[in-house]
Structure 1
Amino acid sequence: MNEPQAHWLADGRRLHLNHGPIDLVIEAFGDAVEVRAAYEQAVGRFQTILSELVEELPALRRPAAAAQRVFTGPTARRMEAAVSPLAERFVTPMAAVAGSVADEMLAAMIAGRRLERAYVNNGGDSALYLALGQSTTVAIAGTGHGFADRVLVRAEDSVRGIATSGWRGRSFSLGIADAVTVLASSGAAADAAATLIANAVDLPGNPAIKRQPAFELAPDNDLGTRLVTVEVSMISPRETAQALQAGLMVAEDYRQRGLITAAALFLNGANVLAGNFPDLRSDRLRSSDQTKDLVHA
C-alpha cells in the first residue's frame, strides 16, 4: 500500500489527500493562520485513517443490525452509527464509509480552530462546517445539467452532509437510479441513506436490467452474491416513474424519521424530490407532489 499523499491543487487553495481508495479534496476559509493550522491537522489525521479501517474491515463488511456493534476506530464507529438505524434493509457499514471518512477528517480539521467554513469532499460525498452566519452552495449530481443545479446551505440549516449514490457511480448498487443525492446532518448519514434509497429505485425482474453477482466483479466486496446492476437498457416513462416511486417511498420514510433532510432521485431523465431543498437553484426538478401525477399518468 502506498503512503498517504498530500499536495495542493492548481488553485493553491484546496488540498488533495490520497491514500489507496480514499481521495479527498479539502478546503478551509477564514484567518490565514487558522486555515493553515486546520490543513496541518487534516494532514496529521490522514496518516492513519485508512490503516485503522483496514484493521476492522472484516467486521465492517458484515451486515448491520439495530443494536450497534462496538468498533475501535472512530471512523468505523461513525459508519456503524450511520447504518444501524437503516438495518431493517440489508446494509453493511461500508455503505457509509465515504461519508464517515469525510466526517472524521472534517472533525480533525476544525478541532480547536476558528474557521468561517470548511468542507471535505470524498469523491462527491462531503462533510460541511459552517460557522454562525455562514453559508455555502453544493451541486446536485445526476441532473444532467452539469453544476448548474445547486443548493444553498446556511449555518442555521440542519444539513452538514451531502452524498450521492447510483448504479453509474464508483460503488455497486442493487438498484437502477442514475443518481440519488441526499442532504443530511452528517456525511455518514447522507452516504448510508443515499445507498439504500438508490437500491430501492428498481424494477425487479425487468429484462431491460442486466445484473451480476457482486463477488464476480470484486471478490472481496461486502455485497457477496447479491446481484448488482451493470446495465440498464431502454425503459418506458411509466417504468421510470414506477422505479422512482419505489425509491421515493424509502426516502420519505427516512425523512419522516428524521434520518435525512431531503433527497433528489434521478432516473432516465426524470427526477423526484423528497423534502425541501433549501434555495434550490433550479426550475427543472420535479417535486414529490408532482410525482403522483407522473406515476399515475
Structure 2
Amino acid sequence: MSRQPQIALLPDRRLHLQDGPIDLIIGADGAEAEIRAAYQAAAKRFTGLLDELCAELPELRKAADLDCSLTGVVARRMHAAVTPFAAEMFITPMAAVAGAVAEEVLGAMLSAAKLTRAYVNNGGDIALHLRDAATFGVGLMDRPDNAGTMRRMTLRANDGIRGVATSGRHGRSFSLGIADAVTVLARTAAQADAAATVIANAVDLPGHPAIVRRPACELQPDSDLGHRLVTRDVGDLSDADVATALASGERSAQTLLAAGLIEGAVLQLEGAIRVVGPRSIEIIHASRLQAAAA
C-alpha cells in the first residue's frame, strides 16, 4: 500500500498536496460539486505517484535517447518532453518532472469534473486549464528566491497555453547557466518545464571569471547531472556581459519557438528582460506583487 500524502484544504479553498519533494497547490473554478469531485480525483491520483517515479528513478536520471524503456505514464511523459533536445545536448527526463507531475494531476481532475478554470502549481511549474472567458495571471519575479520586483503576465483561454514553467540558477534544481529566471509558455506543462531548463542553460557566459561553478555531484551525490559544472554564484557583470548572456538565451528561445516547442518565453538577468513570443501575451510592469500565480 502506498503511503498517504499530506492533504489539506487551504483557507482560500485551494487544495494542498505534499509528498516528499512534490508540493502542489491546486485551484479550480466551477460548480461546488464539480470542484469537490476534482479535488478528490487529484488526491487519489497523487497518492502513490511519487512511488511510481521512484521505481524508475535510475532510468529517469540517465541521458534521454530516442528509445524509451520507461513504463509509467508520467515517466514516459517526462521522456517525451525532453526527447526533442536529446540529440543536441545532455538532458535527462528529470528536466520535465515537475511539469509532468502537474499535468498528470490536472488530467485526473478534468476527467472527473467539468471546470471553467483549473491549475496545478508544482513549485512554479504549472499545468493549466482555461475555458471560455477564463484567464490566468502569472507573476514574473526578477529572482524566484526573493520578493523582488515582478511583472504580471495574463493568459487567456484562446492563447492555447496550458503549461508554464520557470528555471534558473536560483531555483530548486541546478542550472548550467546564469539566468535569474526563465519563464516558458507551452502547450503542456511538461514541455514548458523541459524548455525552461534548456533556455536557462543557454543564458550563459562560458569561461567568465565572475561565475563560480562546481560539479553537480559534489553538491548532490545522486544528481542526474553528474560531474557537469553547475552555477553556484555570479559576481559583477557589465551591461555588455548581461546583454551577451541574454542574447544567447534569446537565440535558444527563438529556435524553440520556430520549432513549435514553446509558445513564448521571458528571460531575466540582473534586472534586464527579454521577451520572446506572440504579442497577444500581455505583460504588465508592476511592483511588489505578492502572488507568484493567481
Normalised by the size of structure 2, how large is the TM-score? 0.92
User: Residues 124-203 of structure 1: matches in 2 within 5 Å?
Assistant: 124-142=124-142, 148-203=150-205
Q: Provide the rounded CA distance (Å) in 2 between the counterparts of 1:118 and 1:243.
A: 35
Change (3 A) 1:172 1:2: farther
| Contact 2:164–2:186, Cα closer than 8 Å, also in 1 | yes
Aligned residue pairs, count: 282
CA RMSD of aligned residues (A): 1.7
Would you say the 8 A contact 1:139–1:147 is kept in 2?
A: no
Task: Identify the residue that residue 243 of structure 1 maps to in structure 2.
Answer: 245
Structure 2: gaps (5+ residues): 287-294
- Distance of aligned partners of 1:280 and 1:92 in 2 relative to their CA distance in 1, 3 Å threshold: same
Aligned residue for 1:126, secondary structure, equals strand
Q: Distance in 1 between matches of 2:152 and 2:279?
A: 9
- The residue aligned with 1:10 is 11
* 1:199-232 Cα deviation digits (max 9, x unpaired): 0111111110000100011101100000000000
Partner of 1:113: 113
Contact 2:37 2:112 in 1 (8 A): no
Following superposition, the deviation at residue 275 of structure 1 comes to 1.1
Give the drift of 1:131: 1.9
> What amino acid is aligned across from residue 249 of structure 1 in structure 2?
R
Question: CA separation of 1:277/1:169 partners in 2, compared to 1, >3 Å: closer, same or farther?
Answer: farther
Distance 1:192 1:150 in 2: 22
Q: C-alpha deviations, 1:236-260, integer Å up to 9, x for none?
A: 0001110111111111000000000
Structure 1 residue 150: Cα displacement: 1.7
2:166·2:181 contact (CA, 8 Å) conserved in 1? yes
- Distance 1:210-1:104 versus aligned 2 partners, 3 A rule: same
Q: 1:190 to 1:114 in 2, by over 3 A?
A: same
SS of alignment partner, residue 159 of structure 2: coil
- Cα deviation, residue 112, structure 1: 3.6
Amino acid at match of 1:42: A
Q: What residue in structure 2 maps to residue 72 of structure 1? A: 71
Task: State the AA in 1 paired with 2:80.
Answer: A
**Counterpart position of 1:287:** none
Counterpart code for 2:8: H
Shift of 1:2: 6.7
> Could you tell me which residue of structure 1 aligns to residue 44 of structure 2?
44
Equivalent residue for 2:261? 259
Q: The residue matched to 2:175 in structure 1 has which SS?
A: coil
Highest RCO, 1 vs 2 (Cα 8 Å, sep ≥ 6): 2
Identity in percent: 54
Q: Assess if the C-alpha contact under 8 Å between 2:29 and 2:117 holds in 1.
A: yes
1:233-287 per-residue CA deviation (whole Å, 9 max, x = no partner) reads 0010001110111111111000000000001111111111111253423258xxx
CA distance in 1, matches of 2:187, 2:83: 15
Question: In 2, Cα distance between the equivalents of 1:177 and 1:74?
Answer: 31
- 1:87-139: per-residue Cα shift (whole Å, max 9, x none)? 12111000000000000010011104211110000000000011233222222
2:283 corresponds in structure 1 to 281
5+ unaligned residues in a row in structure 1: which ranges?
Answer: 285-297
Question: For 1:139, what is the secondary structure of its paired residue?
Answer: strand
Question: Are 1:152 and 1:278, in contact at CA under 8 Å, matched by a contact in 2?
Answer: no
